[in-house]
Amino acid sequence: MLTENVIEVEKNIQAACDRAGRSREEVRLIAVSKTKPVSDIEEVLTTGILDYGENKVQELSDKYDVLPKNIRWHMIGHLQRNKVKYLIGKTVLIHSVDSLRLAEQIEHEAAKADTIMNVLIEVNVAGEESKFGTTCNEAIELVRAVAALKHVKIKGLMTIAPFTDNPEDNRIYFKKLKQLSVDIMHKNIDNIKMNTLSMGMTGDYEVAVEEGATFVRVGTGIFGERDYTKNI
């Protein structure tokens, strides 16, 4: 069942790449496994997917402890500063850095571990009050400030587009994030890269790929609907 879902998602990503004249290798699929049991991840692993996204530090940590160590774990949820220390060494990329204070906490913990933590700056492109993320206007200054930190490496940007029944509604937000990444790149800020765009989820990932996404975060499309009353 889950294997068939992965095949379908992969087919859709390939089709979106074809429409946009992009290589499939430019886009990486993150299977968003939050609230899903270890057994589901083990099944999806058989398809060759090694990138998994979690939005809670405790759940990521618990799964990290029992699953193969070649899995690339992504922290995609809002991150509290007091939880950062539990992520260092376990996650390959934190997608949700939206303040200098959070980045400074990551710097502190990464320095203690003598490592460099890769991050994305989360931008609330649509300006939704219910969402975290810096504004488009403030993003460039936040990037400048975080770029000065020695143990934090900005790799690009992330956004969570509004929930909609029509994925075309979100094309404008994906275009804006792509343009913002280009604008930041032209600032020639040291110690950053802008080659990663994490955007697009189950309802709109094909449009996101057409607009330049390098990571798409697909949960329901692979694992099915979530039951938030269950623990892992």
Segment 171-213, tens digit of pLDDT: 999 999 999 999 999 999 999 999 999 999 999 999 999 999 9
Higher-confidence position of 231 and 227: 227
| Beta strand spans in 13-164 (E) | 28-32, 51-54, 72-75, 91-97, 117-122, 152-158
What domains lie within the chain, and their CATH numbers? Answer: 2-223 (3.20.20.10)
pLDDT tens digits, one per residue of 57-87 = 999 999 999 999 999 999 999 999 999 999 9
pTM: 0.96
Q: Are 58 and 47 in contact (CB under 8 A)?
A: no
Residue 217 clears pLDDT 50, i.e. is over it = yes
pLDDT at 228: 60
Collapsing DSSP to helix, strand or coil, 72 comes out as strand
For residue 102, which phi and psi values (nearest 5 degrees)? -65, -45
Is the Cα torsion angle 133, 134, 139, 143 positive or negative in sign?
negative
pLDDT at 229: 56
Is the Cα torsion angle 35, 64, 90, 71 positive or negative in sign?
negative
- 232 falls in which pLDDT band (50, 70, 90)? very low
Tokens of 140: 């460039």
Tokens of 163: 């929930």
Residue 152 clears pLDDT 90, i.e. is over it = yes
Q: How far apart are CA 70 and CA 82, in angstroms?
A: 26
What is the residue-averaged pLDDT of the chain?
A: 96
Q: Are 152 and 106 in contact (CB under 8 A)?
A: yes
Q: Are 59 and 74 in contact (CB under 8 A)?
A: no
For residue 39, which phi and psi values (nearest 5 degrees)? -60, -35
Percentage of the chain modeled with pLDDT above 90: 95
pLDDT at 120: 98
pLDDT tens digits, one per residue of 221-230 = 999 987 665 5
